[in-house]
Amino acid sequence: MSKTKIQWTERTWNPVTGCSKVSEGCRHCYAEIMAKRLQGMGQQRYANAFSLTIHPNALDEPKQVKKPSMFFVCSMADLFNKDVPFEFVDKVMEVIDDTPRHTYQLLTKRPKRMVEYFYYHRHGIPFNLWLGTTVEGPDYKIRICQLRALPTSNVKYLSCEPLLGDLGNLDLSGIDLVIVGGESGPQARPMQKQWVLNIMRQCEEQCVNFFFKQWGTFGEDGVKRNKKANGCTIDGKTYQTIIL
């Protein structure tokens, strides 16, 4: 458990690490690169690098934080990977239930399995849990419908990062927040400004929060450079306020 520089959260909590690739957004997975680096540094939690590993001893970490905090659950994994038993997901949910002072953000590329879990295995979703799915390109828009299938008033959000294509027309009914960001790293694929503007416009029209995280390796002008130099503004304006 640690503080993080991810702009839309405060802390990360990883009772599971490691994953398997399921879609195009996984191709240059930042978590996989980081896990291998941490393995090389001798960190015991990453002894298996990016092979899926369950960490029961990490379950109670949020209980040690007294200050109400925002936790990104499994920033180094996908809790709804098919190889994570629902019985262990139950334990994660118990911790979330037991720490109502915190808010938890759960992001998955497998919303179908998330729906299966909450519909057929565990009835009831912790009130302090945000539910999110990644939609990196038009081929994955079905995930929005799967997320929306959960009949709950919990915050539902989309992460369009890395954004790899134009999402076209979007039905954002039932969605509270859309996070957009470009890919980083030496093999990064460019994100076009028009794709970003299309999402931003539809968020404004449908009264959905829009959060722009970063341009990544390719800037607003399409030029490849350091991601810090490319920044996180659109036409000189920052969109990083979440009002729910």
Share of the chain above pLDDT 70, in %: 99
pLDDT tens, residue by residue, 215-239: 999 999 999 999 999 999 999 999 9
Residue 2 has pLDDT above 90, yes or no: no
Taking the alpha carbons at both ends of the chain, their separation in whole angstroms is 26
Kindly report the pTM of this predicted structure.
0.95
pLDDT tens, residue by residue, 20-75: 999 999 999 999 999 999 999 999 999 999 999 999 999 999 999 999 999 999 99
pLDDT tens, residue by residue, 164-197: 999 999 999 999 999 999 999 999 999 999 999 9
Residues 105/9, Cβ–Cβ less than 8 Å:
yes
Say how far apart CA 94 and CA 76 lie, in whole Å. 20
What integer pLDDT is reported at residue 1 of this predicted model? 61
C-alpha angle with apex 93: 83 to 134, nearest 5 degrees? 60
